[in-house]
Structure 1
Amino acid sequence: MAERILVIDDEQNLLQVVGDYLKKNSFEVFTADRGRKALEMFDELEPDFLILDLNLPDISGEDICREIRKKSDIPILMLTAKTSEEDKVKGLYLGADDYLTKPFSPRELVGRVNAILRRTRNKGSMSEIFSFRAGDLVLDNMRRTVTKKGIEVSLTPNEYKLLHALVQYPGQVFSRARLVSAALGFDFEGYDRTIDTHIKNLRQKIEDDFRDPTYILTIYGVGYKFQGGEK
């Protein structure tokens, strides 16, 4: 069955061109030119992938991303006309998996979509369960769930992969580059400082106090390590 992609952008020409390229690559494509319409379509269609423009006339792309992340870990590729690193990192902080700056090549967009899907299709079959501090934090790799104090935590696909890579080797220090290759794959087209944004998001979701973490520690000048809840 073809994977469903919902493209959200208010530029009709862009919707047409992007839609045509995605269809040629065997995707089922749906489009929306308004944020509210897109949210309604999301609930009805249950797509497999979201391409989201940040600048929409009724609801900002940031707000749409926040709403989607409350209920789904669907891969999200953000489109933006903003070129500053701060703007791009903000999108990743909100839960996007990658970003693409306008103007862009439709072929590059399809390549990004395929790269992200390659990273998220392999959901893993190992029945691993990692539990820390008497069940305070539990990662179940068979179900691909993470719970904190018994409550399920919603992670993006990349956040989950990073956490899974870290919990397998408590106490081992990972450089940013190593985390990129271990968790996100060699075809990851972002930059290694993107890891910092994902780690910040993870800390806010799994730490008792993200400003004083006990699970994911920073090793200054090197990278990060998972400490298992004990400093």
Structure 2
Amino acid sequence: METSCPTHILYVDDDTEMTSLLDEYLSSEGFSLTLCHDGESGLEQAISGKSFDVVLLDLMLPKLNGFDVLKAIRQSSTIPIILLTAKSDEFDRVLGLELGADDYLSKPFSTRELLARIKALLRRMKFNQYGNTVASMDIGPMMFDCRAHQLFFNDQFVNLTGTEYSLLQLLALQKGQRVAKASISLKLFGKPLESYDRSIDMHISNIRRKLAKYTEIEIIRTIRPQAYMLIDHWD
């Protein structure tokens, strides 16, 4: 009988006790883990060409810190990344999202919460309201390749992360309509919107910055108090 390949996770953390515990737990849930205990070896694995589905990346690492690892990975890869940090400083979380992280968890966290975040992220990477029936979707000058999860603006490739692509596609499917952040959080992140959670705002900011290279039009508008809307006209 043919079996599917397990989800392969790269876990970079210098806390050997934590990595051992999570390796055991996530392996029991059907995941395959590669463990690294410093930033240099973690980056080496991430860009080695091996097929990882998710990266769990601690910020406080020897040899090369998590921010530097994240920046280096994002130069060549859109692999989903969840940041793990013992710091409660909002600045670290915001900076991580600005640099292209898909999600974050502050230590200490429960193993069940981590598992839920990983599963939600994997679902997000496969997000496609059209299923396999439509290969592409055109919204003004934007073309969504729904099967490759890639965006083109006037035929130019826009380098979005998986989360950024899924978020923009969600807004595009409801173009001209107010889409509440609470709805985005449930549909993409699989969790209720938490007070002071700025991750959606940071993903929107990243999308706007990347699209600004191709147009001066304000494509995504902020609708107060907590919603966004993709424009439905291009005049």
TM over 0.5: yes
Match of 2:67 in 1: 62
Q: 1:204 aligns with which of 200, 206, 209?
A: 209
Distance change in 2, residues 1:224/1:53 (3 Å): same
Match of 2:40 in 1: 36
Bigger mean CA deviation after superposition, 69-78 or 2-11: 69-78
Match of 1:24 in 2: 28
In 2: Cα distance, 1:12 partner to 1:113 partner: 20
Distance change in 2, residues 1:165/1:97 (3 Å): same
8 Å CA contact 1:21–1:107 kept in 2: the answer is: no
In 2: Cα distance, 1:189 partner to 1:51 partner: 22
In 1: Cα distance, 2:110 partner to 2:60 partner: 19
Indicate yes or no: 2:113 matched with 1:105: no
Indicate yes or no: 2:224 matched with 1:220: yes
1:47, CA displacement in angstroms?
0.8
Match of 2:11 in 1: 7
Q: Matched residue of 2:170: which SS? A: helix
Q: CA RMSD in A?
A: 2.4
8 Å CA contact 1:62–1:91 kept in 2: the answer is: yes
In 2: Cα distance, 1:209 partner to 1:218 partner: 20
TM-score, normalised via structure 1 length: 0.86
Distance change in 2, residues 1:44/1:73 (3 Å): closer
Match of 1:130 in 2: 138
1:216, CA displacement in angstroms?
0.7
| AA aligned opposite 1:99 | Y
8 Å CA contact 2:55–2:82 kept in 1: the answer is: yes
Match of 1:79 in 2: 84
In 2: Cα distance, 1:156 partner to 1:189 partner: 22
Distance change in 2, residues 1:122/1:226 (3 Å): closer
Distance change in 2, residues 1:230/1:208 (3 Å): farther
Indicate yes or no: 2:145 matched with 1:140: yes
Gaps of 5+ in 1: none
Distance change in 2, residues 1:170/1:121 (3 Å): closer
In 1: Cα distance, 2:31 partner to 2:25 partner: 9
* Identity value in percent: 35
1:117, CA displacement in angstroms?
1.9
Q: 1:154 aligns with which of 132, 153, 159?
A: 159
Gaps of 5+ in 2: none
| AA aligned opposite 1:85 | E
In 2: Cα distance, 1:189 partner to 1:81 partner: 23
Query: Where do residues 187-198 of structure 1 align in structure 2 (5 Å cutoff)?
Result: 187-188=190-191, 191=194, 193-198=198-203
In 1: Cα distance, 2:100 partner to 2:173 partner: 23
